Structure 1
Amino acid sequence: MTALSPTLSSTGRTRLGRRSDRARRDRSDLYDVLDAGLVCHLGVIVDGSPRVLPTGYGRLGDTLYVHGSSGARSLREGPAQDVCVTVTHLDGIVIARSLYHHSLNYRSAVIYGRPRLVTDPDEKLAGLRAITEHLAPGQWDVARKPTRKELASSSVLAIPLEEASVKIRQGPPGDDEEDYALDVWAGVVPVHQVFGAPCPDPALRPGIPVPPHIARLAAS
């Protein structure tokens, strides 16, 4: 596969109209947003109506992988159309002196493309591994691998990262000049995602400790 340009595509769908100053055009910015996220939203048309579904994902190079039941309409319909995938991080609530200038600090990516149903067994396993390792690094090598029946009941879609946009807002509020004299607090309330201590399955056999890779995840 030909390597993609280090600069993100600029198409009618990815070109930002409003607040284009928040656009990021390096492909590395897209990878940073995707690699830092855990859940994406897959938008697809089913029976003439839009359907947006939250799902886990994984990235291998310039391909995003999502999976689900082979009976899911969204996955069956996906390869017949262009879909939209979004990932968003909320980094802060921006409190301004005027209501008009309240905002959010965020990092977001929007991807357009026609997904491909993965049928090659090796790529299917690689896609499932990418998804598993993205959510819980190290888990693929310790858990039981999927059986042929489980693989048959699962669909994996590969979505190219050729057409995408990234938009980021950071920093304090941008109030109107005359409002800076108001006696109204303004600033940013940071938002952080944190992992808690691992909670063992009630059915876990005694004597099985939390594995190092899960402990590292909880400590991150």
Structure 2
Amino acid sequence: LYWHGSSASRMLRNLRGGTPACLTVSHLDGLVLARSGFNHSANYRSAMCFGTARIIDEPDEKLKALAGVVDRFYPGRSETLRPISVQEAKATTVIGMRIEEASAKVRAKGVGDDEEDYGHPVWAGVIPVRMVVGAAEPCPRLLPGVERPQNLAGYAEGERLDRALTQAQLTYEGEL
């Protein structure tokens, strides 16, 4: 597992020798409104990954990890970009962590009111939350003739982000 931050970060510099860490990621899928405050909830997906975080100093591993950050969302794009500059690499700390343990949790259900509350006259239900791609906003300084590449077609206005990411990976792997 890799992530990155500023080389000026004191917190990240403290990882130099390696330190036990927990990286947690959560994604909100819906707001659950019940008939009592106690039974309000949220639908979500979350993961907690445990391991020893360390700074990646080896230049090839660091560059590969930084390319992976870009390619996770836009497969193959790092190959089309200008190479990272020495200053950019110096300004970026890359942290790596082998996942030693992990835990995941999902809540994906409706209202869980107490039986006696179902007769209370107040609206209850789930309000879904989605990450949706908006309309592309081309840079006003694009060179003449530079078009949006076909491998970004999945990032269409109105498409759910999870579907766009999946399509980008499958297209890159030649499965679509």
d(CA) in 2 for partners of 1:200 and 1:95?
Answer: 39
Residues 144-191 of structure 1, C-alpha deviations (whole Å, 9 max, x = no match): 121334323322110121122212111111111111222332211111
For residues 41-190 of structure 1, the aligned pairs below 5 Å read 64-80=1-17, 81-190=19-128
Quote the offset at 1:193 in angstroms. 0.2
Q: Is the 8 A contact 1:136 1:217 kept in 2?
A: no
Secondary structure, counterpart of 1:74 in structure 2: helix
- Structure with max Cα Rg: 2
AA aligned to 2:7 is S
d(CA) in 2 for partners of 1:137 and 1:74?
Answer: 30
Structure 2 unaligned regions, length at least 5: 165-176
* Deviation larger for 117-126 or 193-202: 117-126
Structure 1 residues 167, 79: closer, same or farther in 2, change over 3 A? farther
TM, length-normalised to structure 2: 0.79
Report how many aligned residue pairs link the two structures.
157
AA aligned to 2:100 is E
AA aligned to 1:212 is Q
d(CA) in 2 for partners of 1:120 and 1:203?
Answer: 36
AA aligned to 1:76 is R
Residues 57-116 of structure 1, C-alpha deviations (whole Å, 9 max, x = no match): xxxxxxx11112322222211244323322111000001121210110000112233212
* Deviation larger for 205-214 or 83-92: 205-214
Structure 1 unaligned regions, length at least 5: 1-63
What's the RMSD between the two structures over aligned residues?
1.8
Structure 1 residues 97, 117: closer, same or farther in 2, change over 3 A? same
TM, length-normalised to structure 1: 0.65
Structure 1 residues 132, 207: closer, same or farther in 2, change over 3 A? same
Q: Is the 8 A contact 1:90 1:191 kept in 2?
A: yes
The residue aligned with 1:198 is 136
Secondary structure, counterpart of 1:141 in structure 2: helix
AA aligned to 1:69 is S
d(CA) in 2 for partners of 1:175 and 1:197?
Answer: 39
